[in-house]
Amino acid sequence: MLNISKDNNILITPGKYASITSVARRPHYKILNKIIIGFLIFLIGCLFLPWTQNISGSGSVTTLKPDQRPQTVHNTIAGRIEKWFVKEGDFVKKGDTILFISETKEDYLDPNLVGNTKDQVDAKKMAVESYGDKVNSLDVQAQSLNTERELKLQQAQNKIKQAHLKIKSDSMDLEAVKTQLRIATTQFNRSTALNKEGLKPMTDVEQKRLKQQESEAYIITQQNKLLSSKNELINARVEINRITAEYAEKISKSRSDKFTALSTQYDTEAQVNKLQNQYVNYKLRNGLYYITAPQSGYVNRALLAGIGETIKEGTPVVSIMPESYDIAVETYVEPIDLPLVHRGAKVRVWFDGWPRIVFSGWPGLSYGTFGGRVVAIENFISTNGKYRILIAPDNKEGKWPKELSIGAGAQSIALLETVSVGYEIWRNLNGFPPNYYNSDDKATNEKGKK
């Protein structure tokens, strides 16, 4: 500013001027002072008012149970779309046909594939029965061979016994012949001596000599018979060894044939099981050409279009919203607030599209909010950097709107401890978290431990 005033140190005295004195004497300043003082007293009183600490979160409407949420129906096998049986917005019951597809893989193009596989299974079953009969026949054959072997061995043992008896008999006959020879020799010597003395004729001597020679010849014959009997004993023993070896070979061959038949039978049974598995798979595959609704609900959206389109396994076909469901809200809280939330905690919820007046610190004065309780807390952080919490309606308060749609926006406030407004302002200015809130169950347990 330009300093053009001649006197820069002029002081204005209020009592010197009548206008200033008149304005100063007016009562407006006293009233304003009273208003300011009253407002300050009101603000100080508000600092002692109760304030409910809370945790806010945002999310959307969902369902309480996983099987009640919108689901996508997929096809199990690859195929080509042949016919649609529903359109978007239709209500379908559980098991209703949604779509029909035809086969595209060359392994399943045979129209009589199931019947042919069933015939193969029956043929293999008959082969298993045949091998079973063969095994039984071989068992009977082995038993017969064992019986025949025992009989043959008994027959050979009897021959050995007969040979022993015959050897004994021939030995006795040989001893008798030797005795006869000694007698004949004695008689011949006596007749020779008597003939020399003239008491016996020469004819008698010759007869005795002939008898002696006959006895000697008979000894040789009897010795031959004894040797023959001994040979028969040896032959009987050899026969036993031959029978044992022969039937051991026959029985071993029968057992080998039996085990071969059993191996083939088991292999055929494995083939039967494999064919039965294929038969059941083919039979079930025929039922998979019709894609049906897994539960009753409304067709939200058809994810495929047209006729003749080829689809792979597991391709989404349609989206279905279940007919009945329990409403819930999924909301997200900051990691720092997660320890303050527990199952069963009370929550106030309001929804997009419903009028409301919300006072977070005074939930009793809010309008348009609905009561809820925390039923699930996710222990793993979500992709948005927060933790997911599931809220269900509180049965002790009013019901939630029936017109709520799945996916609508929702806001939530988790109610914590009740403190004074001054403490809450001081806490926020210092950046402290809300007071940790213990549930009734936890508090009871802590008191019991103490």
Same domain, 258 and 309: no
Q: What CATH number should be reported for the domain holding residue 98?
A: 2.40.50.100
SS3 311: strand
Do residues 127 and 275 touch, judged by C-beta distance below 8 A? no
Do residues 251 and 138 touch, judged by C-beta distance below 8 A? no
Same domain, 259 and 160: yes
Q: Is residue 346 part of a domain?
A: yes
Helix 113-196 to helix 202-287 angle, to the nearest 10 degrees? 170
Q: Is residue 367 part of a domain?
A: yes
Q: Residues with Cβ < 8 Å from 102, sequence gap 6 or more?
A: 79, 80, 82, 289
Helix H or strand E segment including 418 = strand 409-420
Q: Is residue 266 part of a domain?
A: yes
- pTM given for the model: 0.54
The total of structural domains in the chain comes to: 3
SS3 25: coil
What tens-digit pLDDT sequence spans the chain (450 residues)? 445 555 555 555 655 666 666 655 565 666 777 788 888 887 777 777 676 666 778 888 888 888 888 888 988 888 888 889 988 888 999 889 999 988 888 877 777 888 888 888 888 888 888 888 888 888 888 888 888 888 888 888 888 888 788 878 877 877 777 777 777 778 777 777 777 776 667 777 677 777 777 777 777 777 788 788 788 888 888 888 888 888 888 888 888 888 888 888 889 889 889 988 988 888 888 888 888 998 888 898 888 877 888 888 888 989 898 888 888 889 898 887 777 788 888 888 878 876 655 555 555 545 557 888 889 888 888 888 888 989 888 888 778 888 787 888 888 877 666 666 676 677 667 666 666 544 444 444 444 444
CA distance 395 to 371: 8
Same domain, 130 and 152: yes
Task: Tell which of 322, 345, 377 closes a domain.
Answer: 322
Same domain, 282 and 373: no
Same domain, 139 and 87: no
Q: Is residue 5 part of a domain?
A: no
Task: Tell which of 302, 322, 342 closes a domain.
Answer: 322
Same domain, 335 and 210: no
SS3 419: strand
Same domain, 125 and 151: yes
Same domain, 202 and 118: yes
Q: Is residue 40 part of a domain?
A: no
Q: What CATH number should be reported for the domain holding residue 188?
A: 1.10.287.620
Joined together, the tokens standing for residue 445 give 């347990």
Same domain, 242 and 378: no
Task: Tell which of 233, 267, 287 closes a domain.
Answer: 287
CA distance 84 to 65: 30
CA angle 149, 152, 154 (to 5 degrees): 110
Joined together, the tokens standing for residue 251 give 């029985």
Q: Is residue 318 part of a domain?
A: yes
Q: Residues with Cβ < 8 Å from 412, sequence gap 6 or more?
A: 56, 57, 58, 59, 329, 331, 347, 348, 349, 372, 391
Range of the domain at 121: 113-287
Q: Residues with Cβ < 8 Å from 1, sequence gap 6 or more?
A: none
**Sequence letter at residue 193:** A
439-445 long-range contacts (CB < 8 A, ≥24 apart) are: 439/342, 439/343, 439/344, 439/345, 441/344, 442/342
Do residues 442 and 376 touch, judged by C-beta distance below 8 A? no
Q: Is residue 216 part of a domain?
A: yes
Same domain, 124 and 158: yes
Query: What is the 3 state secondary structure string of 218-283?
Result: HHHHHHHHHHHHHHHHHHHHHHHHHHHHHHHHHHHHHHHHHHHHHHHHHHHHHHHHHHHHHHHHHH
Joined together, the tokens standing for residue 372 give 């809820």
Same domain, 124 and 272: yes
Q: What CATH number should be reported for the domain holding residue 334?
A: 2.40.30.170
Q: Is residue 7 part of a domain?
A: no
Same domain, 278 and 300: no
